[in-house]
Structure 1
Amino acid sequence: MLDSSKHVLSCQRLKTLAGVTVAEPIQKVAAAQKNAFAVILIMDQAGWHMSNNLIVPAIIIILPLPPKSPELNPFKNLWRFMRENWLSNRVYKSCDDIVDRCRDARQNLESQPWCIMSIGRREWANFLSSARRRTSPI
């Protein structure tokens, strides 16, 4: 039988980990771009992305996407693809098992860069960029 109190604590731990993992890539980007004038990171407005506890280096400018605009966030399509192909319709033994399966799904996806490009592509964005190429004087 599932102990709901352990489940709630485990999922709360997972949310805390998600908040912590947002800070780490921001710090890595800042370190890698230390000679840049500024780095703009575009993020959705998930609670852990926009937390007041998030320490953002001076070089980083966070540009939040408008609320409820998944069409502007191609990562949502990546998550949907991973859920549909590797993560859904399964019973997980623990939160650690969920994290392990998510890591496996990410590695599967990383081994298929052509798939990432097709999932992240927006038909309307391709249309605009091809229209610009046709009208370009060069």
Structure 2
Amino acid sequence: MTPPTARTWARRGHTPVIRVRGRSRRRISIAALTCYKPGERSRLIYRPRRDDGRREGRKSFAWTDYRDLLITAHQQLGGPIVLVWDNLNVHLAYGMRQFIARQAWLTVYQLPSYAPDLNPVEGIWSLLRRGWLSNTAFTTPEHLIQTIRHGMRKIQYRPRLIDGCLAGTGLSLTPTTS
């Protein structure tokens, strides 16, 4: 709920102060997939997850949440998926590895450790933070979720933004021969 500040202005010598109501320790997590296929428009599939505030409850995505996202992506895309993702501990969980091994439609490649510059989804987060989430003091968790969904929908309907996130990594869709 702490507002990300991008830019602001004030008279010289008067530091601007942003007051935030209802600072909360609860968190909103988002999982996203950028989907690319030569000859088709790029797509963004995402799921937000809200921390329910219970002490014993999980605050972020479990491997089962990622599994469900992959199943949804497979249904929406209607074909096999080649997944390239980072080394988040949940991605490497035993249950996730078992799930991946059982799916003929899913091939997974791991990015090298500490290589966020190779992950197009990091570009999506940057667009969201610098655009729709910047300079906003959220009043409630619902306000934050609503703004996130609005920003993600705007990105979804602009495939060139999603293409730009892939271009920003230096990776491409065309296979190279050696």
TM-score for the superposition, normalised by structure 1 = 0.65
Q: Distance in 2 between matches of 1:111 and 1:97?
A: 21
Work out which of the residue numbers 18, 23, 28 in structure 1 matches 2:72. 28
Is 1:104 the counterpart of 2:136? The answer is no
Instruction: Give the CA deviation at 1:15.
Output: 1.0
| C-alpha spacing 1:81/1:23, structure 2 compared with 1 (3 Å) | same
Q: Which has the higher strand share?
A: 2
CA distance in 2: counterparts of 1:66 and 1:87, whole angstroms: 29
Provide the identity percentage.
17
RMSD over aligned Cα, in angstroms? 3.3
Bigger RCO (CA 8 Å, 6+ sep): 2
Gapped regions of structure 1 (runs ≥ 5):
133-138
2:86 — aligned with what? 44
Task: Check conservation: 1:78, 1:116, Cα contact below 8 A.
Answer: yes
Larger helix share, 1 or 2 = 1
Give deviations 1:36-58, integer Å, cap 9, x for gaps: 5xx43111112333333333342
CA shift, 1:65, in A, is 0.7
- TM-aligned CA distance change 1:102 to 1:123, over 3 Å: closer
Quick one: which amino acid aligns to residue 7 of structure 1? R
Note the C-alpha offset of 1:86.
Answer: 0.6
Please state if 1:65 is matched with 2:84: no
Question: Partner of 2:10 in structure 1?
Answer: none
The answer on whether the counterparts of 1:43 and 1:64 sit within 8 Å (CA) in structure 2 is yes
The 3 A distance-change label for structure 1 pair 122 and 7 is closer
- Unaligned 5+ segments in structure 2 are 1-20, 28-50
Aligned-partner Cα distance in 1 for 2:158–2:136: 23
**1:78 matches 2:124:** yes
Flag the 1:104–1:29 CA change in 2: closer, same or farther, 3 A.
closer
Residue 97 to residue 45, structure 1, CA distance change in 2 (3 Å): farther
State the 1:108 CA deviation. 0.9
